[in-house]
Structure 1
Amino acid sequence: MTEILEQERQTAAAWFETLRNEIVASFEALEERQTTGPTAGLPAGRFEVTKTTRTSEDGSDAGGGLMSVMRGGRVFEKVGVNISTVYGQLGAAAQKAMAARGVPGMDSDPRFWASGISLVAHMQNPHAPAVHMNTRMFWTPHAWWFGGGSDLNPCIEYAEDTAHFHDVQRDHLAAHGDDLYPKLKAWADEYFFIPHRNRARGVGGIFMDDRNSGDWAADFALTQDIGRAFLPAFVPLVDKRRDTPWTEADKDTQLVHRGLYAEYNLVYDRGTKFGLATGHDANAVLMSLPPMAKWI
């Protein structure tokens, strides 16, 4: 399987980088379009790009990526678009977690390779929704799979915005079977639920993990369509809401909602746990946290 999937791994990693470049360009264009409102006097936001590295337990190189973060822009208060490709051997805790998920052979050969893109956007205007998106490929000598999705996290909900976000996801998944969108929507509803608050993190989206149908090309095509759905699902909502007047009460609502987001990512998110457990750059892993939040 190592030889069979070498080219496929390179193809997946290259595509995640292409998607990253498209999103970065689109978000910087949004910053340029924001010429009215209370943040219009700020410089148009630009991404600061930092190389990230992962070091194995024996000190050898174990991959890395790019952390691209924009702070204090006209539209985005903080947004990160990270890509990474990491590899090496899983530690004991990660091996145990993988074995619990049904990955065979981790006790005899714990090598792994993982590549993906991860995005979280926190907005200046409380009426513009926060959003999360990621897609990834994971490989071991015994198995491979894809995962990811995107979900919308408005602090002030608009039914028409939620409908648009879901409609675009549904349209992009249609080529992969009529039953797929309902399945991935239900998966997102379950995954992005906060048990200790007894509520969802946001208004949902789509999510999958451990995707291996046995047809790598088909599963990669699905993963690409999940990524391609993101910009048309999200950017029109930002354009619609970025000029909406807001009050201090609206901002307070936003900060409290961000507290929910932080709780989920620190307590439940599988990607956060994996990144920290495998020694990836902690700043890149925790990029998802909002710049400001509030608890009542």
Structure 2
Amino acid sequence: MQNPNSTDIQRVREFLLDLQSRICAALEQQELQSNSTAQFEIDDWQRPEGGGGRSRVLQNGAAIEKGGVMFSHINISKLPTSATERHPQIAGAKAQAMGVSLVIHPRNPHIPTSHANVRLFVAQPEGQEPIWWFGGGFDLTPFYVDDADVLSWHQKAHDLCEPFGENVYSEHKKWCDDYFYLKHRDEQRGVGGLFFDDLNQWDFETCFKYIQAVGNGYLEAILPIFQRHQNQTYTQAQRDFQLYRRGRYVEYNLVYDRGTLFGLQTGGRIESILVSMPPLAAWSYRPAWDQDSAEKRLVDDYLKPRDWLNELK
């Protein structure tokens, strides 16, 4: 297996910083189309332990109520056992991790919340060859479902996976369905997309090309959804339902999300770790929805694994 050298790691870093900039610029254009001048604020930071990052956050926009597009490249002097449960062979090793992670919470309930991340992890156990892998994916969490959104989202995921193997989309879609599952609610977080971790079964260059395709694919998939819905009117009742469903997002991120847990276990920067939280969320005790309502349809028909490409075409 080809191991990355310092030049390889620098190329990944440069791609991630460029990806962050391009995503922020494209989303700022959605603000301009909503007659808003809201922009992503830049917050560069350093870690005492080594490394740092660039946080870019937009708040109180017309299109985006809160969005965080975060780059980090951190050094870890000694991986704690709590953070290496799936890879006990690297406990205590030096490591570096870099990635772009984002969550976008639109204001309009007709635009889904979206999440994406792409990342590289390299551990250096003493006296051994480096151990590396890529991870990432993207997923969509709608409140009021438009089948065209779900279909185009999964079509983009399918198409970007296709050059890497005929089973990649189906495998990484299933992984996404399994991963973004709220066990205590017995429901999916949304309508899925792609998820993968520990990716090193190909050579380094092919794995790097795949995360480039995933990162670029997120932007290509989310922009048409914004453009279809950002001028769509909504009611206060729909806004209330959006806040209620955001509560599920909070539950997932705090209970199950590996990135959140890894950041907390390795002494990460708390503002960056919790930037995925929505600015507003709500919880209700056993709410009831009309049998034929869009709210009931979301829960009954969409928050479960489905073969979207074949069912919606």
Same fold, judged at TM 0.5 (above): yes
Q: Which residue of 2 aligns with 1:102?
A: 87
Distance 2:64 2:182 in 1: 25
Tell me if structure 2 keeps the 8 A contact 1:50–1:66: yes
Q: TM-score, normalised by structure 2?
A: 0.86
Which has the larger displacement, 47-56 or 10-19? 47-56
Is 1:118 aligned to 2:78, yes or no? no
Distance 1:123 1:105 in 2: 39
Q: Shift in Å at residue 106 of structure 1?
A: 2.8
Structure 1 residue identity aligned to 2:16 = F
Distance 1:204 1:3 in 2: 31
Tell me if structure 1 keeps the 8 A contact 2:46–2:52: yes
Choose which of 44, 54, 63 in structure 1 pairs with 2:47.
54
Q: Shift in Å at residue 53 of structure 1?
A: 2.3
Q: Shift in Å at residue 2 of structure 1?
A: 12
Choose which of 287, 290, 294 in structure 1 pairs with 2:275.
287
Distance 1:258 1:210 in 2: 29
Tell me if structure 2 keeps the 8 A contact 1:139–1:145: yes
Cα shift readout 1:264-295 (whole Å, capped 9, x = no counterpart): 00110000011111122100110000000000
Q: TM-score, normalised by structure 1?
A: 0.91
Counterpart secondary structure, 1:209: strand
Tell me if structure 2 keeps the 8 A contact 1:148–1:207: yes
Q: Shift in Å at residue 91 of structure 1?
A: 4.3
Is 1:93 aligned to 2:86, yes or no? no
Structure 1 residue identity aligned to 2:13 = A
> Gaps (5+ residues) in structure 1?
36-42, 57-61
* Alignment length (residue pairs): 279
Q: Shift in Å at residue 157 of structure 1?
A: 1.2
Structure 2 residue identity aligned to 1:32 = L
Change (3 A) 1:246 1:105: closer
Is 1:77 aligned to 2:62, yes or no? no
Alignment of 1:17-32 (within 5 A): 17-32=17-32
Choose which of 137, 143, 147 in structure 2 pairs with 1:155.
143
Counterpart secondary structure, 1:121: strand
Change (3 A) 1:69 1:105: closer
Structure 1 residue identity aligned to 2:260 = T
Alignment of 1:205-244 (within 5 A): 205-244=193-232
Is 1:140 aligned to 2:123, yes or no? yes
Cα shift readout 1:194-233 (whole Å, capped 9, x = no counterpart): 0001000011010000001150001111111011101111
Tell me if structure 2 keeps the 8 A contact 1:201–1:264: yes
Distance 1:149 1:4 in 2: 21
Tell me if structure 2 keeps the 8 A contact 1:81–1:119: yes
Q: Shift in Å at residue 105 of structure 1?
A: 4.3
Counterpart secondary structure, 1:104: helix
Structure 2 residue identity aligned to 1:179 = N
Counterpart secondary structure, 2:47: strand
Structure 1 residue identity aligned to 2:40 = F
> Gaps (5+ residues) in structure 2?
125-129, 285-313
What stretches of structure 1 move > 4 A for 4+ residues in a row? 1-4
Tell me if structure 2 keeps the 8 A contact 1:84–1:115: yes
Q: Shift in Å at residue 44 of structure 1?
A: 2.0
Distance 2:47 2:106 in 1: 30
RMSD of aligned C-alpha atoms?
A: 1.6
Q: Shift in Å at residue 165 of structure 1?
A: 0.4
